[in-house]
Structure 1
Amino acid sequence: MQPASSCYGSRQSEGMSLISGDPEEQSPRDCSRSRSSSSAKHRRRRCRVLIATSSTVASLASLALILWLTLRPSSPRFSLLAATATVDDAAASASIVVDAALAAHNPNAHATALYGQLRATASYAGVPLGACAPLPPLEQPDQGDAVLSALLTSSTSPPSAWRPVPGAQALLRVRIEGQLRWKVASWVSGRHGLTVDCVAAVVPSSSPGKQQRQGSSSSSPSQCATQVL
């Protein structure tokens, strides 16, 4: 009977050794929990970075909007100070020369106006005129004034039937086109299109003994229409 009990005892100890090894092994469920925890940490970190970046961008945009609303520049104001038209109809091909002076005012207290690529055109009594040379760039300080001069001449001879009538008003239109930028401290805005239209009535007067007639605009400056795009 002793051999049977020893054989039974050996089988029992084998079974106990197999059972005692199970708790030391990691189950598939534990691996899944570890991976999901790592993924959640990565998502939380990414959300924090995204929130911080969004907050910074929103703060900068709000600051720029507040500065723009506080220092928003107003359009400059132009006026036609004087204009003289000279008509030479003695030559075989008649010509018209207009000398115009315009005043520019920057109404802004915290912004400098930067003008560039300025060009002038005009028409006198329906005859188109072009500028002899482009206008130079101009930097106008805050609440400053500047005078622009343009010498314009007809590129083609007026029609043969065209003749100014002494004592009658002739309509003069002067147009300035160019680009405008604003400078606030060290910040400079983008380029904006600038268009200035001026209209004045010029009365030609005959010059005895000369083959030229001249006219001048009224003594009071005429306001111009200014458009900034």
Structure 2
Amino acid sequence: MSQIHEKSPQHCAKKKLINIKNHHKKLFYTFTTFILTILILILLVWLILHPTKPEFVLKEANIYQLTLSGSHLLNSSIQITLLSKNPNKKVGIYYDEIQVYASYKGQRITLDSSIPPFYQEHNDNNLLSLVLVANRLPVDPSFGYEMDRGQMAGRLVLNFKTNGQLRWKVGTWVSGRYMLIVNCVVVLPFGPSGPAGPLTSKQGTQCLTTV
């Protein structure tokens, strides 16, 4: 007579619970391995290509108006030309939501001017021309005093600041958005006698770019 081995309900439940746990562990390990593989591939692509931040040069600046109305309301009209360079050999750049304004002694002297979104191929250059204006823009009461000091010193130092976002493009892959900040400093001659025409600078100033 053969011996019959019967498993208790408790034993079966314990075995089933162990199988469920093992199944969950396998799923977790598979998912983790997949995510790590994707991250490693992205990191390798990034390290191999190593995108270099774009370069900007202020090619020209022309100040047509910079006058106070009353003691603290400013009217301004400035035209600038920026040269944008993509130094990467295999990486394109999408520029999004680009805003540019001018400042003097830490004070805004124009409103924001927008540059339409554009795509820049690798090893490509783009000329960006725009006009920055303000009409009765409130400024600090000390603005007129600072302008007088600059005129006595014979020079006017302005900052042109660009804020926006960019995305890298490698093949068909496009990265997420990165903050772009560009700061250009220009020194214009500003003698006591005043200019006969617009204040102009064509010195080709290299700008500081942060990504």
TM-score range (shorter-chain normalised) is 0.7 to 0.9
- Partner secondary structure for residue 188 of structure 2: strand
Structure 2, unaligned stretches of length 5 or more? none
Instruction: Kindly tell me the number of residue pairs found equivalent between the two proteins.
Output: 199
CA contact (8 A) 2:102 2:161 kept: yes
What's the offset of the Cα at 1:125? Answer: 7.3
Name the structure 2 match of 1:15: none
More helix by share: 1
**CA separation in 1, counterparts of 2:42 and 2:87?**
22
What is the Cα-based RMSD across aligned positions, in Å?
Answer: 3.3
Equivalent residue of 1:61, what SS? helix
Q: Distance in 2 between matches of 1:46 and 1:167?
A: 75
- How many angstroms apart in 1 are the aligned matches of 2:122 and 2:104? 34
Residue number in structure 1 paired with 2:171: 185
Once the two structures are superposed, the pairs formed by residues 6-155 of structure 1 within 5 Å of their partners are: 30-31=7-8, 36-87=14-65, 95-124=75-104, 128-131=108-111, 133-155=113-135
8 Å contact from structure 2 (residues 58, 206) kept in 1: yes
CA distance in 1 between partners of 2:76 and 2:13 (Å): 87
Cross-structure match for 2:154? 168
5+ long unaligned stretches in structure 1: 1-19, 208-212
The 3 A distance-change label for structure 1 pair 160 and 131 is closer
SS for the counterpart of 1:155 is: strand
Q: For 2:12 and 2:86, how far apart are their aligned partners in 1?
A: 68
Shift of 1:37: 4.8
Superposed CA offset, 1:19-46 (max 9, x none): x8xx76655xx43655555554444444
TM-fit CA distance, 1:109: 1.4
Give the distance between the partners of 2:54 and 2:89, measured in 1 at CA. 12
Residue 168 of structure 2 is aligned to residue 195 of structure 1: no
**Offset at residue 47 of structure 1 (A):** 3.6
* Identity between Structure 1 and Structure 2 (%): 24
Q: Deviations over 1:91-121 (max 9, x none)?
A: 9987432111111111111211111111111
Letter in 2 for 1:216: T
SS in 2 for 1:130: coil
Contact 2:74/2:109 (8 A) holds in 1: no
Pairing 1:215–2:199 present: yes
The TM-score, its normalising length taken from structure 2, stands at 0.76
Q: Is the 8 A contact 1:104 1:148 kept in 2?
A: yes
Aligned partners of 1:43, 1:165: CA distance in 2, in Å?
Answer: 79
With 156-165 and 131-140 compared, the bigger mean Cα shift is at: 156-165
Q: Any idea what SS the aligned residue of 2:36 has?
A: helix
Return the letter of the residue paired with 1:226: T
Structure 2 CA distance for partners of 1:37 and 1:179, relative to 1, 3 Å? closer
* SS of aligned partner of 1:74: coil
Check 1:182–1:88 CA distance in 2 against 1; reply closer, same or farther (3 A cut). Answer: closer
TM-score normalized with structure 1 length: 0.71
Task: Point out the structure with the larger strand share.
Answer: 2
In structure 1, C-alpha distance between the alignment counterparts of 2:166 and 2:49, rounded to whole Å: 16
Quote the offset at 1:197 in angstroms.
0.6
